[in-house]
Amino acid sequence: MTDLILTPNIDGVDDFYAELLAAHEGLSKEDSDALNARLVLVLANHIGDRAVLSKALKAAQLSD
């Protein structure tokens, strides 16, 4: 699998977003940033495909 999905693809997206916000609730900026970094690494490990991960990095850089 080397295709990167950039269209909405999360079941229960609103519930996930609420869960993500709740995970950050009460955290300092530093702790929130650390949580985000850990989440990125967990999801990157789950994906595992280096080509997809490289495409995701490039897509994220273009989003700024």
Asked whether residue 50 is domain-assigned, the answer is yes
24-47, pLDDT tens digit by residue? 999 999 999 999 999 999 999 999
Asked whether residue 1 is domain-assigned, the answer is no
Tally of domains within the chain: 1
Contact 16, 10 (CB under 8 A): yes
1-11, pLDDT tens digit by residue? 678 999 999 99
Q: Amino acid letter at 4?
A: L
Asked whether residue 32 is domain-assigned, the answer is yes
Asked whether residue 6 is domain-assigned, the answer is no
How buried is 55 (Cβ within 10 angstroms: 0-12 exposed, 13-18 middle, 19+ buried)?
middle
Domain boundaries, position 30: 13-62
Asked whether residue 3 is domain-assigned, the answer is no
Asked whether residue 25 is domain-assigned, the answer is yes
Q: What is the largest CA-CA distance in the chain?
A: 38
Asked whether residue 5 is domain-assigned, the answer is no
Asked whether residue 22 is domain-assigned, the answer is yes
- Compute the chain's Rg from CA coordinates: 13
